[in-house]
Amino acid sequence: MSKLFPKSANSLPFQILIYLGLVVGIATAGVTYYMTPKYTRVGYAPVQPVPFSHAKHVQEVGLDCRYCHSNVDKSAHSNVPTAQTCMNCHSVIKANSPLLAPIRESYEKGTAVPWVWIHHTPDHAYFNHAVHVNRGVSCVECHGKVNEMDVVTHSQPLSMGFCIECHRNPELRLRDPKDVYNLDSKRLADQGAAGLKTAENFVHDWKVKPPQSCSGCHR
């Protein structure tokens, strides 16, 4: 009887095992790389109804974040501004710009400007802006350098791991509360040993205790 299988077939089970190992490895790498918020969210920059530029309004005109996001230090929700906020200036400056037509329409008719929501936690997670910004967590920690963006882009994953990482060691990420709205400022911890000491004292004296238990964020 002739041989059904060549001799090399003896090593085949072994080779298949190695191959399966490789496939599992590649699949795991693929899932961690592609199926986490670092890939799915970071870089999201929807086309907005009005090409509003933060770089122009914050850096060139020098507006403070709170001029428009006026509830960020008062409430859990950071509001996207009303059309009237834009009209404060744009009723005079560039009053006839075609780019601003949706704003004028909204202001006259009272309809909503259909801004696209970019940063969005799922409904089972609770987030609060005021507690963060009033305790020295700057916008830049969670939103990136918005002041340099022409189009707002999702720059941090805002996943649970991202939140917890800071909640474990807040002193490393805090700023002087007066620098919170200055996105180019440095963290206290990056200002040398003295800065880190200030941050540690701040955390201690002001009893900064970010929740790490599930019910802190999933209420």
Partner 1 sequence: MRHVYLATFFVVALVLSVFGLRGTVFTSPPMDVFPEWLFPSMKYQPKFRPQAETTFFADGRADRLPPPHTVRADLALREDDHRYLGKSAAGGFSAGLPEGLSVDRKLIEIGRDRYQIYCAPCHGALGDGNGITKRYGMGATATYHDARLRTMADGEIFNTITNGKNTMLAYADKLVPDERWAVVLYIRALQRAQQATAADVTDAAARKTLGLP
Asked if 9 interacts with partner 1 (CB under 8 A), we say no
Asked if 20 interacts with partner 1 (CB under 8 A), we say no
Location of structure tokens 């409430």:
75
CB–CB of 79/67 below 8 Å? no
**Closer by beta carbon to ligand HEC, 26 or else 76:** 76
Which of the stretches 14-22, 99-107, 184-192, 193-201 binds ligand HEC when contact is defined by CB under 6 A? 99-107
Shortest Å distance, C-beta 67 to partner 1: 6
Asked if 90 interacts with ligand HEC (CB under 6 A), we say yes
Question: Cα 129 vs. chain centroid, distance in angstroms?
Answer: 12
Applying CB under 6 A, among 15, 32, 75, 128 the residue interacting with ligand HEC is: 128
Q: In one letter, which amino acid is 108?
A: E
Asked if 19 interacts with ligand HEC (CB under 6 A), we say no
Nearest to 154 by CA among 44, 48, 78: 44
The two three-digit tokens of residue 17, written as one number: 């095992």
Applying CB under 6 A, among 114, 126, 148, 184 the residue interacting with ligand HEC is: 126
CA distance 77 to 79: 6
Asked if 77 interacts with partner 1 (CB under 8 A), we say yes
Applying CB under 6 A, among 20, 84, 131, 204 the residue interacting with ligand HEC is: 131
Q: Which does 143 bind (CB under 5 to 8 A by kind): ligand HEC, partner 1, none?
A: ligand HEC
Helix residue ranges per DSSP H, 110-150: 129-133, 139-143
Using CB under 6 A, which residues numbered 168 to 197 contact ligand HEC? 170, 173, 181, 183
CB–CB of 37/163 below 8 Å? no
**Closer by beta carbon to ligand HEC, 15 or else 84:** 84
**Closer by beta carbon to partner 1, 39 or else 206:** 39
Asked if 204 interacts with ligand HEC (CB under 6 A), we say no
CB–CB of 179/185 below 8 Å? yes
CB–CB of 44/38 below 8 Å? no
Applying CB under 6 A, among 71, 159, 185, 198 the residue interacting with ligand HEC is: 159
CA distance 3 to 51: 73
CA distance 47 to 105: 19
Asked if 124 interacts with partner 1 (CB under 8 A), we say yes
Asked if 24 interacts with partner 1 (CB under 8 A), we say no
